[in-house]
Amino acid sequence: MQIFKGLCSETKCLLESGLFKNRPLFLEKISSRPCHSATPVFSSEEQEAFPFAASYSATPVLSSEEQDVFPLAARVVKSLDGQVISKMSFRNAVKVHGFPYSIDTFRVFVHVFASVGMEREVYSLLFNVVSYYQAFDLDMFELFPFLLGGKPPHPEISIAVFDVLMKVFAANSLFESGLHVFYQTKKLGLTPSIRSCNFLLKCLIGKSKADSARMLFEDLKTHGPSPNVYTYSIMMNLYCRGQNVDISQATDILEDMKKSGESPSVTTYSTYINGLCRGGFLDIALGIVREMECRKHPLNSYCYNPVISAFCQQGRLCEALEVFEGMENNGISPDHHSFGILLDGFCKQGDVENSFHLVRKMLVSGVKLNIVNYSSLLTGLCKAGLHDFSLKLFRGLSASGYKHDMISYNTLVNEFCMIGDMDSASKLLEEMIHYGYVPDSFTFGSVIRGCCEVGLLGKAKELFNVMKTVGLLPGVFVWNVIVDRICKEGDLEQALKLIYEMQDQGILPNSRTYHAIIKRLCDEKMSEKALALISFMVKFGSLHINCFNTMINGLVKQSLPREAWKACKGMLGLGISLDIVTYTVLIKLFCRTNEMEKAWFLFAGMKKRGLMPDVVTYTTMMAGYRKMGDMVRCNALADEMRRRM
């Protein structure tokens, strides 16, 4: 244990000797000293604490005075070997020599390596110590004063040490400790580097510590170090790329930046443009791009891509293409993402001609298509009704060595299901399983829906059971598809059993689930059971106006006006407002019973509530008046309908 004594008293001598101020000169002095490679540098005790020591023998021989004072520290210091530092274990040192002596030694190493600008080695040492503090739940706040050693700080070296300590804390998400170092450093009259502050700021934002990030940023603006372009860009990122885009704050950042004398970089602008597009300010974003083009301000693809993407999402493909071509005209080569955005936009609209024109341009530009681009093409071909060609492309890619992913399979499976080609969809599903892909809920849901739509209920039930067997719990959408098909085939008992099974598995039926059953009950003229089911839905909060409308329509078809009107009143009593469908159904009821005054009362009432009658409502009223022989009112409604439609 005696080998560590004297380290604290010698630290200042080492740092103030001037030996490390000129690193090249220092290394030259070290290399000129005699060295005996056969002599082991580290004792057996030291090797136990520092496992790297056994293979580390080619270091300078120390004087007897040095050996008495701090042999291990002197040997590491005089070698300045970064690899040695990276292998040092603070935990092992503590086990062998105890905590006080080990922390003293590491402090010497930290200050010495900081004095010659070896930041990576300082980081490794401090990371070692901080990890130990974390593992044993020690007070991180003790590290700052300890690194000072109870003496007035050496400005350059202390700043270098505290900068790295701040980074270590930030990288380990120890933000409270990192901010503590920042404020304590300034309390000593020292100024941390803006580089380290930026790193802390970026880590805070990366871990969603927005309030702390804002507090740090405001302190930098008020008390320094002054934010630079990277600081402002980091804050811009906070307001433009997070879940909640705040364009007002992002604009303030841009204005503050200009006032401070910092010129926004292309990264700053690209982040701001992305935020504008995500926030729904596409026209403003485009205006900024055009202004930057006019001013010959540096631009890159990251400035254009968000604008292209926003136009594509809105279905404005012509404008997206115009921005894309503008980028090329300004000498900026579209990147893979630029091509991919536009290609996907054309494909989603089934614009095969422009899609393949873009593919040719990609190949000429040396941009290789990836599996995502090919998936877009498969979608585009299907949207254009070219399903066979899409399947040929899929097979051709496989023959060329392309390994399709889940996206490609899901794309084709879903598209073939939508046109009712269940043979092709089933074959693709089997192929997926053969190649080791486990179909997900989306895949199963697509095939089950397709089977139900073409009347293959048996196949749908089989896949439904397979889905549950492989551990995929069907979502409410899949259950609804099955229930709807069963109801259409008239098996109400089986449909009700499925609803109870849903509830047993923790899935709450929604209004669509019940709607299918209510419709079937009304078709079967079982209105009482439909009303009982409505009461059940009210109890579980699954009620939707569509269910009421279906039931009221069923009662009207059965010529049960009183029950229909009673259901309507019950609907209003539950706080559910009548919609156009409800009004039209009730108007149809009164027109059928020649009660045109009541029909007109409802017709006028819906307009007062701001509900515009549609063609069905108008024609229902006109048919009622024509039936009563009142052609004046019938023609008046016809003229009104023509004016409004």
The predicted-structure confidence for 341-352, as pLDDT tens digits, reads as follows 999 999 999 999
Rg value, the chain, Cα: 38
The pTM of the whole model exceeds 0.85: no
Report the distance separating Cα 123 and Cα 642, nearest Å: 78
Report the distance separating Cα 395 and Cα 388, nearest Å: 11
Lowest-pLDDT range of 250-264, 565-579, 616-630: 565-579
Report the distance separating Cα 143 and Cα 203, nearest Å: 21
Structure tokens at 314: 């809105």
Arithmetic mean of pLDDT, 365-391: 92
Report the distance separating Cα 304 and Cα 545, nearest Å: 45
At residue 277, the pLDDT reads 95
Lowest-pLDDT range of 99-103, 537-541, 617-621: 537-541
The predicted-structure confidence for 282-334, as pLDDT tens digits, reads as follows 999 999 999 999 999 999 999 999 999 999 999 999 999 999 999 999 999 99
At residue 541, the pLDDT reads 62
Arithmetic mean of pLDDT, 465-494: 85
The owner of tokens 């609209």 is: 349
Confidence band for 536, pLDDT divided at 50, 70 and 90:
low
DSSP code for 83: H
Helix (H) and strand (E) counts in the chain: 38, 0
Report the distance separating Cα 15 and Cα 113, nearest Å: 10
**Residue 557 and residue 589 in contact, taking contact as beta carbons nearer than 8 Å:** no
Structure tokens at 581: 């469908």
DSSP code for 270: H
Lowest-pLDDT range of 86-90, 115-119, 432-436, 451-455: 86-90
Query: Taking 90 as the threshold, does the pLDDT of residue 450 lie above it?
Result: yes
Arithmetic mean of pLDDT, 133-144: 90
Query: Taking 50 as the threshold, does the pLDDT of residue 48 lie above it?
Result: no
The predicted-structure confidence for 557-600, as pLDDT tens digits, reads as follows 777 777 777 777 777 777 777 888 888 888 888 898 888 998 89
Task: Tell whether omega for the bond before 225 is within 30 degrees of 0, i.e. cis.
Answer: yes
Strand ranges inside 88-242, DSSP E: none
Task: Give the rounded percent of residues in the chain with a pLDDT score beyond 90.
Answer: 46
At residue 150, the pLDDT reads 64
Query: Taking 50 as the threshold, does the pLDDT of residue 38 lie above it?
Result: no
Cα torsion 402, 403, 405, 409: sign: positive
Confidence band for 2, pLDDT divided at 50, 70 and 90:
very low
Arithmetic mean of pLDDT, 146-156: 74
Report the distance separating Cα 475 and Cα 463, nearest Å: 14
Q: How many CA atoms lie within 13 A of 32 on its CB side?
A: 6
Domain definitions of the chain by residue range: 69-226, 494-573, 578-644
Report the distance separating Cα 305 and Cα 329, nearest Å: 15
Residue 499 or residue 316, greater confidence: 316
Q: How many CA atoms lie within 13 A of 234 on its CB side?
A: 24
Arithmetic mean of pLDDT, 457-483: 87
Query: Taking 90 as the threshold, does the pLDDT of residue 116 lie above it?
Result: no
Arithmetic mean of pLDDT, 47-63: 39
Query: Taking 70 as the threshold, does the pLDDT of residue 391 lie above it?
Result: yes
Arithmetic mean of pLDDT, 633-644: 90
Query: Taking 80 as the threshold, does the pLDDT of residue 154 lie above it?
Result: no
**Residue 550 and residue 515 in contact, taking contact as beta carbons nearer than 8 Å:** yes
At residue 322, the pLDDT reads 96
- In the three-class reduction of DSSP (H, G, I as helix; E, B as strand; rest coil), residue 35 is classed as strand
DSSP code for 141: G
Report the distance separating Cα 487 and Cα 566, nearest Å: 26
For residue 581, CA distances in Å to 58, 606, 615 come to: 91, 11, 12
Output the CA angle 538-544-547, nearest 5 degrees: 95
At residue 600, the pLDDT reads 93
* Closest C-alpha among 154, 138, 62 to residue 102: 138
Q: How many CA atoms lie within 13 A of 262 on its CB side?
A: 20
At residue 66, the pLDDT reads 33
**Residue 117 and residue 160 in contact, taking contact as beta carbons nearer than 8 Å:** yes
Residue 464 or residue 308, greater confidence: 308
At residue 84, the pLDDT reads 64
- Specify whether the backbone of 614 is left (phi greater than 0), alpha (psi in -120 to 50) or beta: beta
DSSP notation for 51-78: GGGGG---SBPPPHHHHHH-HHHHHHHH
For residue 394, CA distances in Å to 124, 386, 404, 498 come to: 51, 12, 8, 38
Query: In the CATH scheme, what is the code of domain 69-226?
Result: 1.25.40
Buried b (16+ CB within 10 A) or exposed e, 318-345: ebbbebbebbeeeebebbbebbbbbbbb
The owner of tokens 């086990």 is: 95
At residue 198, the pLDDT reads 96
The predicted-structure confidence for 69-114, as pLDDT tens digits, reads as follows 345 555 566 666 666 666 678 888 888 888 888 888 888 888 888 8
Q: What are phi and psi of 6, to 5 degrees?
A: 90, -5
Residue 199 or residue 471, greater confidence: 199
Confidence band for 407, pLDDT divided at 50, 70 and 90:
confident
Report the distance separating Cα 601 and Cα 608, nearest Å: 11
Report the distance separating Cα 150 and Cα 73, nearest Å: 20
Q: How many CA atoms lie within 13 A of 261 on its CB side?
A: 3
Three-class SS string for 390-406? Answer: HHHHHHHHHHCCCCCCH
- In the three-class reduction of DSSP (H, G, I as helix; E, B as strand; rest coil), residue 455 is classed as coil
Structure tokens at 403: 């390994």
Residue 531 or residue 493, greater confidence: 493
At residue 345, the pLDDT reads 96
